[in-house]
Chain A
Amino acid sequence: MYAALGVHKCMPHSHGSQGCCSFHRMYLTRHFKEPAIASSSSFTEGASVFGGGSNLKTSAKNIFDIYKPDIIAVHTTCLSETIGDDIGSIIQDIDIPEGKYMVHTNTPSYVGSHVTGFTNMVSGFIKYLSVKSAVKNGKLAVFPGFVNPGDMREMKRILNYLKVPFTMLPDTSGVCDAPMTGSYEMYPKGGTKIEDIKKLGECELSLALGEMTSEESANELKRKCGVPYKALPLPIGIEATDEFVMQLSRFSSTEVPYDLEEERGQLVDIMLDAHPYYHNKSVAIYGDPDTVLGIAAFALELGMVPKYLVTGTPGIIFEQKAKELFSKYGVENYIAKAAGDLFELHQWIKNDPVDLLIGGTHGKYIARAENIPLVRAGFPIIDRYVHSYLPIVGYKGAIRLVELILNAIMDKQDAECNEEDMEMVM
């Protein structure tokens, strides 16, 4: 659903019972504090027995009629998958209005996690829309991964600095962080244009940011349209951002502009200035796999010790990548688990505590129980504001992360130190 919101004038459609759609909209709205539109096939018991084909047909008619999107992006649910609805052939039978589109992907909750669904939806757009082309348009296809609109804006800013012509899919900036204007627009200005998705086949190269989230979609584009791809980690922290920037510089044959170099220099300056407050502090990081690995890499660059990494998204790549990362820094006492949960993380922490937690809202119970400061980063954050507007990617994003980490650690020191130990200057 989140991926589909990042396509301009797209209505995400949940093919299942109403609860799924309601739950997803509720969660996205709580994270972004923005409307998250989506419709549902509203299955009842009858549809579960006889199949959801007619529900989807009725849905399509009503959606195009009432909500007038340019495209409907159908994702499936446990219900429709278990009864075996073949969405592809149902869509073929639907009378789609001229100039409008319908795409689909399979997203039952019993396979993978919300990250898997995001990847599948992005690939679904490519499967249906992108056209293979012998003529190239000189553009770079960018798959930003499951990140906030603030992160996508920052990636685009860097792309523009390096004069890279690009199409980003999806692009939720201008949708999930749309401004207050006094009039509600069902389809705000942002989102990847359908025409641009069609032309993804004309791109020279595609860049998959976040190997575990985006590589599969880039691979889909390669399979379908022959566009080669490069997979990079999410540009979180200094090395990953360097890699991203250099890749772009090579692509556009543009020298890295001074403005960006200046930002990098500021980041390094800050890292040096503040290092006594975070050096050797241990940290537990949880959330989506690419985000967790990105933050872990940055923590290592800062001189922190990421002790526990956990993500609910199953997959062996996560554990392999973590191993590579830790061996690079010679860290041995760590746990990185893909199919873990916060209860397990809490047990590890009880046995051997950490100085800091980094992740989404759900870690707040551990933070409180163990009196460990929590830096909110990633998805979902449903108990704070502004986070989705500001980046954690790029040099600017890294500077923001340092500030968040320092504030958490230093506020705790101020709140808990002995009166005679209060420091005016820190």
Chain B
Amino acid sequence: MEARERLLDKYSARVFKNRKDHVITKAEDATEIAANSRTIPGIMTNRGCCYAGCKGVVLGPLKDVAVITHGPIGCAFYSWGTRRHKAKGDENTKNFLEYCFSTDMQESDIVFGGEKKLRQAIQEVVEIFDPASIMICSTCPVGLIGDDINAVAAEAEKLYNRKVIAFSCEGYKGVSQSGGHHIANNGLIRHVIGTGDRPVKKYAINILGEYNIGGDGWEISRVLKRIGYDIVSVMTGDGSYAELKNAHLAELNVVQCHRSINYIAEMLKTKYGTDWIKVNFIGVSSMIKSLRDMAKYFGDEELIAKTEEVIAEELEAVSEELEYYKSRLKGKTAALFVGGSRSHHYQKLLKDLGVETVLAGYEFAHRDDYEGREVIPFIKEDADSKNIESIKVSPDEAKYKIRLSETKYNELKDSLSLEYYEGMIKEMENGAIIVDDLNHFETEEFLNLLKPDVFYSGIKDKYVAQKGGILSRQLHSYDYSGPYASFKGAVNFARDTVMGIYTPAWKYVTAPWKTEPTLEGTLTGGEQSA
């Protein structure tokens, strides 16, 4: 029996009915998967909540913003410095990332309302920290008791003469973090983007859906700047309110994490006319392809030549080391379970290193991340997805700009896959297993059945895998290493994986006396045995 069937067989009828469409074995005729639907209560999921997606992922990295968590202390505490979106301040940009701002609501605030405390928190944050902007994220009880955070924000905006934005990202909204990404991004496009006017240079771009985990964004920017790109803004790794205001001025948007931001790319296209392409900066071959695609979009000979020159130099600098790591990794197998893009991005890097992916899954992706954007018209809305506000934008008459002629646009649309993402499944081998919202039980079972050499996942199941004898590396936090993106990052990633597979500790898991007896038996009344 195949791994998938053996696993599903163990479920009760009701769970089986739910899970069977979320677990598929890739075949020519089997590429459809169920995604972005509720996790069954009681199933140990790795998913987080709407607040985690809004505050933790999208708004958290904005360094010059004081993000106030409005609610009891837990939510603020748990999202304090626990995601590795690095940021650096400078003389013009403050950096508040080491702080945790909360209204610390108590029982009486739940009963009598927390608006007063929120006003006080805003006042304190202005007086002590003087941030460029203030963003308020609400937690479950705030939504339930009905604090009007929008009114408080509007009032504070006038009072303190700076942008104050409220986000209703209560944890119970939606089915995963994904809803929170959406709410955060909606707020940014509505209130921030389009309000700046910095002069932009040639080849101006935004990087969307890059969160600078472990310094990924810095490594990517290093290469892009060498080529000559003007990076107007990054959403949102090492990002800032100050930069984000100008995002509408870029010529091209490059989308790294499709899941968390594809709708923003679309809205920017509608509102400001900015074209977008899907890129993948993870792994040398993907990085090279992305750089070439970007150069091709601008179509400028000088840029194309410079791109090739930088690629050659970067490649030269890392190829020897990568060859060595490849020799240590060739023929290994991997399983990947990460958020909403990495499980796809890292497969290419692993392939570069000779590692085959036998299982891949996303925590909170939607069907288009698995199957490609062509399925979007066919995705059925349900009660949960309807609860996440979907905003409609229209062209901004003053700021809308057509970037390409119609002929050029049509030509690039096909050759460059403008505004398209093919999803993860197409590139996977037949027979590989794809799981949406992989849970604890499935993790344990699949690791036993497939026995991959390494399981790339997150903190909650890392030690489950390792206790079972399988190396696990965190792909959310990179196990506090990194960067893993671009050329140099690929070397770091390969080095860390090799280190994990070959660390001597694995040899000592079984104590020697388990295999080699130390006690010599004697027979009572008999002669001593030799």
A residues near B (Cβ < 8 Å) are 13, 16-20, 22-27, 29-30, 33-48, 55-56, 58-63, 65-67, 77-79, 81-83, 108-111, 113, 178, 180-186, 312, 343, 362, 365
Which residues of B are found within 8 Å of A16, using beta-carbon distances?
140, 171
* 26 A-B pairs (CB sep. < 8 Å): A19-B49, A19-B51, A20-B49, A20-B171, A22-B47, A22-B48, A23-B48, A23-B74, A23-B78, A26-B459, A29-B459, A37-B440, A40-B42, A42-B39, A42-B40, A42-B42, A43-B172, A59-B42, A77-B140, A78-B110, A78-B141, A82-B110, A109-B75, A110-B72, A180-B509, A182-B510
Task: Assess the A182–B468 pair: CB atoms within 8 A.
Answer: yes
Closest chain B residue to A368 by CB distance? B98
Closest chain B residue to A45 by CB distance? B387
Among B74, B106, B467, point to the contact of A180 (Cβ < 8 A).
Answer: B467
Which residues of B are found within 8 Å of A365, using beta-carbon distances?
98
Among B38, B140, B459, B461, point to the contact of A79 (Cβ < 8 A).
Answer: B140
Q: How many A-B residue pairs have CB under 8 A?
A: 192
Interface assignment of B145: CB less than 8 Å from any CB of chain A? yes
> Of residues 443 to 486 in B, which have CB atoms within 8 Å of A's CB atoms?
444, 459-469
**Interface stretch (choices B173-181, B301-309, B408-416, B516-524):** B173-181
Of all A-B residue pairs in the complex, the 6 with the closest CB atoms, nearest first, are A19-B49, A59-B42, A62-B42, A109-B74, A109-B72, A23-B78
A57 to chain B, nearest CB (A): 8
Task: Assess the A22–B460 pair: CB atoms within 8 A.
Answer: yes
Interface assignment of B87: CB less than 8 Å from any CB of chain A? no
Task: Assess the A65–B105 pair: CB atoms within 8 A.
Answer: no
Which residues of A are found within 8 Å of B460, using beta-carbon distances?
22, 25-26, 29, 35-36
> Of residues 148 to 198 in B, which have CB atoms within 8 Å of A's CB atoms?
171-176
> Of residues 189 to 246 in B, which have CB atoms within 8 Å of A's CB atoms?
none
Task: Assess the B509–A45 pair: CB atoms within 8 A.
Answer: no
Which residues of B are found within 8 Å of A37, using beta-carbon distances?
44, 440
Interface assignment of B46: CB less than 8 Å from any CB of chain A? yes
A382 vs B38: C-alpha distance in the bound complex, in angstroms?
Answer: 31
Interface assignment of B11: CB less than 8 Å from any CB of chain A? yes
Interface assignment of B52: CB less than 8 Å from any CB of chain A? yes
Task: Assess the A46–B383 pair: CB atoms within 8 A.
Answer: yes
Task: Assess the A58–B40 pair: CB atoms within 8 A.
Answer: yes
Task: Assess the B468–A110 pair: CB atoms within 8 A.
Answer: no
Among A26, A33, A48, A184, point to the contact of B144 (Cβ < 8 A).
Answer: A48
Which residues of B are found within 8 Å of A26, using beta-carbon distances?
78, 82, 459-460
User: Given A19-B171, A22-B49, does the pair A62, B43 have CB atoms closer than 8 Å?
Assistant: yes
Which residues of B are found within 8 Å of A17, using beta-carbon distances?
49-50, 140, 171-172
Among A43, A185, A312, point to the contact of B467 (Cβ < 8 A).
Answer: A185
A34 vs B464: C-alpha distance in the bound complex, in angstroms?
Answer: 8
> Of residues 380 to 405 in B, which have CB atoms within 8 Å of A's CB atoms?
383-384, 387
- 10 new A-B contacts at CB < 8 Å, known A42-B43, A65-B12: A23-B48, A29-B460, A35-B461, A35-B467, A45-B174, A48-B143, A108-B72, A110-B106, A183-B468, A365-B98
User: Given A18-B48, A40-B41, A59-B41, does the pair A82, B174 have CB atoms closer than 8 Å?
Assistant: no
Among A43, A67, A83, point to the contact of B44 (Cβ < 8 A).
Answer: A67
